[in-house]
Amino acid sequence: MTTAFVILHHKTLDVSLSCLDNLLKVAPDSPIVVVDNGSNDGSGEELRRRFSDYKNVVVIINDQNLGFAKGNNVGYKYVKDNFDVDCVVVMNNDVIIKQPDFAEILASYMLENHLYVCGPDIITPEGRHQNPLQREPFSTFRIIKWMLMDCIRLIMLKLHLFEKKILATYTSVSNSYQRQDIDLNGITDCVLHGSCVAYSSDYLSKEDFAFVPVTFLYAEEMILADYCKCKNYRTGVCPTATITHLGGKTIMNGALPREKQIFKTRQVVRSLSKLLKIRLFGY
């Protein structure tokens, strides 16, 4: 079985180089498509120059930042149109793969369990496990509550009201989303962590996108889970395929905490509103 990899890059050249160096060691012959998502700082051109001698590495340079879903979809569509593969792994550039047989393990698990979309066991450098992101999709009521609370947080951050308390709360909430150690065997129809998602040949034959292209950033995983449920595409987590997710390397690198949270909160509200619209009116 042949697996292709799609890597989304935005400005962090050293992170992408580390990711590619590791990937080429474990999958030296696999097609690799790197999408420079509107970095406009020369890093995409540098990646293209450094890997120009690799016949299996393609670097696509977007003129503008299309966001997470659409940026990844550029690479996914390129793979679908140009390579004959059984599986596509779409991953962040802050993901490190060290298993020599990672692609074979993941593709075989998807085939054996009739999965359309699958994620590996994602482990942070601190040892936290991130898949599944959610065992079951959030209820519509919980999404509405989340969106309303973030609207309030956004207003307060802009007005510098209770700023320290809000930023501290965000940190603790972010950490609370890390799942506890659980048995991954048999987990299906869950919300997968978006840092590394694999798509089977069945999915490839039916869909022209990896992530539903309705958001700029955030909630892509929840929307994908809803979409898969709507289409009766089975999803799951492969417990024997593992990756390291460095995390926090790709979004607004170098920005101040308040600026980061204003940006993040605004994007979350927009994405959740898209999710609610989809749930109410369909795809």
Ordered alpha helix ranges (H), the chain: 13-26, 43-50, 68-82, 102-112, 140-158, 163-176, 201-206, 220-231, 257-281
Pairing of strands 117-123, 235-245: parallel
Same domain? For 24 and 94 the reply is yes
Same domain? For 90 and 203 the reply is yes
User: Which of helix, strand or coil describes residue 83?
Assistant: coil
Structurally, how many domains does the chain consist of? 2
> What's the predicted TM-score (pTM) here?
0.89
Per-residue pLDDT of the chain (283 residues; tens, 9 = 90+): 799 999 999 999 999 999 999 999 999 999 999 999 999 999 999 999 999 999 999 999 999 999 999 999 999 999 999 999 999 999 999 999 999 999 999 999 999 999 999 999 999 999 999 999 998 889 999 999 999 988 998 888 877 766 566 565 654 344 434 445 566 777 889 999 999 999 999 999 999 999 999 999 999 999 999 999 999 999 999 999 999 999 855 444 444 577 888 888 899 999 999 999 999 888 7
Does residue 241 contact residue 89 with C-beta atoms inside 8 Å?
A: no
Same domain? For 131 and 143 the reply is no
Structural domain range at position 17: 3-135+180-248
Measured CA to CA in angstroms, residue 64 lies from 39, 70, 98 at distances of 7, 11, 32
Which tokens belong to 128? 């936290």
Same domain? For 30 and 82 the reply is yes
Output the pLDDT for position 123. 94
Bridge partners, 199 (sequence order): 88, 117
Output the pLDDT for position 247. 82
Same domain? For 156 and 201 the reply is no
User: Which of helix, strand or coil describes residue 241?
Assistant: strand
Does residue 74 contact residue 62 with C-beta atoms inside 8 Å?
A: yes
Output the pLDDT for position 156. 82
Same domain? For 81 and 70 the reply is yes
Same domain? For 17 and 121 the reply is yes
Please give the Cα distance from 93 to 97 (Å, whole number): 11
Same domain? For 93 and 49 the reply is yes
Same domain? For 232 and 202 the reply is yes
Pairing of strands 87-92, 3-9: parallel
Pairing of strands 57-62, 95-96: unpaired
Same domain? For 165 and 191 the reply is no
Measured CA to CA in angstroms, residue 175 lies from 130, 155, 243 at distances of 11, 23, 19
CATH number for 195: 3.90.550.10
Output the pLDDT for position 182. 64
Alpha carbon dihedral 206, 63, 14, 93, in 10-degree steps, equals: -20
Same domain? For 236 and 191 the reply is yes
Same domain? For 43 and 58 the reply is yes
Please give the Cα distance from 57 to 20 (Å, whole number): 9
111 contact partners, CB below 8 Å, separation of at least 6: 1, 200
Output the pLDDT for position 159. 79
21 contact partners, CB below 8 Å, separation of at least 6: none
User: Which of helix, strand or coil describes residue 64?
Assistant: coil
- At CA 223, angle to CA 217 and CA 225, rounded to 5? 130
Does residue 91 contact residue 194 with C-beta atoms inside 8 Å?
A: no
